[in-house]
Amino acid sequence: MVTFSHADAGTDEAAWAASGLDTIGELPLDAAELAGMEFVVLVAHPDDESLGAGGLLARLTSAGAHVEVLLCSAGEASHPDSPTTTPEQLAAVRREEFAAAMAAFGLADHWQFLDLPDSGLAQHRAVIAERLTEAIGQRTVAIVAPYRGDGHTDHDTLGSVAAETAEAGGHGLLEYPLWYWLWATPGDTAWRNWVRLPLSPAEQRTKREALHTHASQLRPLSDQPGDEALLSEQFLAHFARPFEVFAWRPPVTGRRSARDAEAVFDALHRSAEDPWKYQDSWYEQRKRSLTLAALPEQKYDAGLEVGCSIGTLSAELAGRCGKFLAVDASGTAVARAAERLARFPGAEARQLTLPEQWPAANFDLIVVSEMGYYLAAAELEELITRIAASLTPGGTLLLCHWRHPVSGWELDGDAVHTMARSQLRWPPAGTYRERDFVLETFIAPGPDRAGTSA
């Protein structure tokens, strides 16, 4: 249980700035993708939304996305020892401030007040879940909520309700940390898997304008003890960054699995000679070059590429391997890959539906590129288990995946890499991440290396 007070000095923003927080991967959603989504925002107390997600709200309204906001409490418990203002009076003030903030975001007519007690949301979980479900209706949305491990009971309650609702309905989830920045330190590892939303100057101005409407939290209610400003300048520095940070899980847009892959990708490859534009797209050419450059060894004895498609990357990998096997669920794709590999004596392409049809061999290089999210979560877990069993000690595993939502499938690239890191528990030998894709290499533990695949 985290214990802290708003009066604590906490972790200075300079420590977070020096931690590399500004280098974590970007939220993999551009303006057009955001505009095509719908959002329901949960707010525990007035000002939470402006602090943790003000830039996001500015981005969404500017992009034309549909946004609905549920304010759960009026924040009437922020000054329990005030000699000048009763909780009822403070509730009225803070609701007016929240209305002004919503107007600054362009959401004046897009919010509801649930009228639940400040610091008592844990006792009203069922009500919150019901109202959230009503707001979502039959749609698939992205839920925006406080981080479920923020340390404040109201924030943790909203975060956990949001996570449970998102999991049950396949919704996206954006969790915004608030008090976390005060009590946590850069040594905590949670933030390293989060995403960053860079804010334009206009979005930063809108966020500041909305935050300044919450005067009861930024300035003293009076000069008497008990009426001090709640939010210190040191705390506010965490929210003056030119970016916001979220724990992000994309919506589940489908439930296909490995058994669907052959039909789906055979149809795709029959429709076009090069459906992904591997040969002509600069994105693909650049990503392929980065993939090859990320391999720590110049030569490998035996390599395996999982999900080879038409073999464009396969031909590059085969030149660095004594023996090389490229596999794909699509027979049409494998036939084209085999043509590209014909000039390499030790290379072959084979149609296999993984993870069930796993090759009976060991490898010192395994490459999984743009394939992991075409499996269900349980299938990906089995694939990782098979990789760990087949990779020789000191061998290289390379993962590279698109970070945007993958229509029709359960996982996305970030989820694939998170599962691999969690299951293997091998420290990454190298990581490259940008808004569009993430690339990681791992070295299999040898007799003198720590690690586990269990």
Lowest mean pLDDT among 92-106, 183-197, 214-228, 270-284: 270-284
pLDDT of residue 450: 40
Mean pLDDT to the nearest integer, 64-84: 97
SS (H, E, C) the chain: CCCCCCCCCCCCHHHHHCCCHHHCCECCCCHHHHHCCEEEEEECCCCHHHHHHHHHHHHHHHHCCEEEEEECCCCCCCCCCCCCCCHHHHHHHHHHHHHHHHHHCCCCCCEEECCCCCCCHHHHHHHHHHHHHHHHCCCCCEEEEECCCCCCHHHHHHHHHHHHHHHHHCCEEEEECCCHHHHCCCCCCHHHHCEEEECCHHHHHHHHHHHHCCHHHHCCCCCCCCCCCCCCHHHHHHHCCCEEEEEEECCCCCCCCHHHHHHHHHHHHHHCCCCCCCCCCHHHHHHHHHHHHHCCCCCEEEEEEECCCCCHHHHHHHCCEEEEEEEECCHHHHHHHHHHHCCCCCEEEEECCCCCCCCCCCEEEEEEECCHHHCCHHHHHHHHHHHHHHEEEEEEEEEEEECCCCCCCCCCHHHHHHHHHHHHCCCEEEEEECCCEEEEEEECCCCCCCCCCC
pLDDT at 262: 66
pLDDT reading at 56 higher than 80: yes
* Judgement on whether residues 233 and 319 belong to the same structural domain of the protein: no
pLDDT for res 449:
38
Does one domain contain both 111 and 29?
A: yes
pLDDT at 112 over 80: yes
Q: What is the pLDDT of residues 157-193, one digit of tens each?
A: 999 999 999 989 989 999 999 999 999 999 998 998 8
For the chain, the domain total comes to: 2
Identify whether residues 157 and 303 lie together within a single domain.
no
In a domain, 30, yes or no: yes
The vertex-445 CA angle with 442 and 446, nearest 5°, equals 135
The pLDDT tens digits for 148-160 are 999 999 999 999 9
Give the per-residue pLDDT at 421: 93
pLDDT of residue 154: 97
> Does a structural domain hold residue 4?
no
| Chosen domain end from 249, 272, 301 | 249
Residues 234 and 313 reside in one and the same domain:
no
Answer whether residue 326 is part of any domain. yes
User: Is residue 322's pLDDT more than 90?
Assistant: yes
* pLDDT for the residue numbered 261: 67
Q: Based on the fold, state whether residues 241 and 270 are members of the same structural domain.
A: no
Q: Are residues 67 and 205 in the same domain?
A: yes
**Percentage of the chain lying above the pLDDT 90 cut:** 78
pLDDT score for 258? 64
Task: Clarify whether residues 225 and 277 are in a common domain.
Answer: no
Q: Which of 203, 218, 249 is the last residue of a domain?
A: 249
For residues 316-335, give the mean pLDDT: 95
Asked, for residue 44, whether it belongs to a domain, the answer is yes
Residue 116 lies in a domain: yes
Residues 184 and 320 in one domain: no
**Is 8 part of any domain?**
no
Residue 269 has pLDDT above 50, yes or no: yes
Q: Is residue 7 scored above 90 in pLDDT?
A: no
Instruction: Quote the mean pLDDT of the chain.
Output: 92
202 and 55 in a common domain:
yes
Residue 247 pLDDT greater than 90, yes or no: yes
Judge whether residue 1 has pLDDT over 70. Answer: no
Domain that includes residue 288, residue range: 258-443
pLDDT in tens, 373-414: 999 889 999 999 999 999 999 999 999 999 987 877 788 899
Last residue of a domain, one of 202, 227, 249: 249
- Both 221 and 267 in one domain: the answer is no
Residues 143 and 268 in one domain: no
Q: Which CATH number goes with the domain that contains 118?
A: 3.40.50.10320
Q: Which residue has the higher pLDDT, 207 or 274?
A: 207
Q: Are 101 and 214 in contact (CB under 8 A)?
A: yes
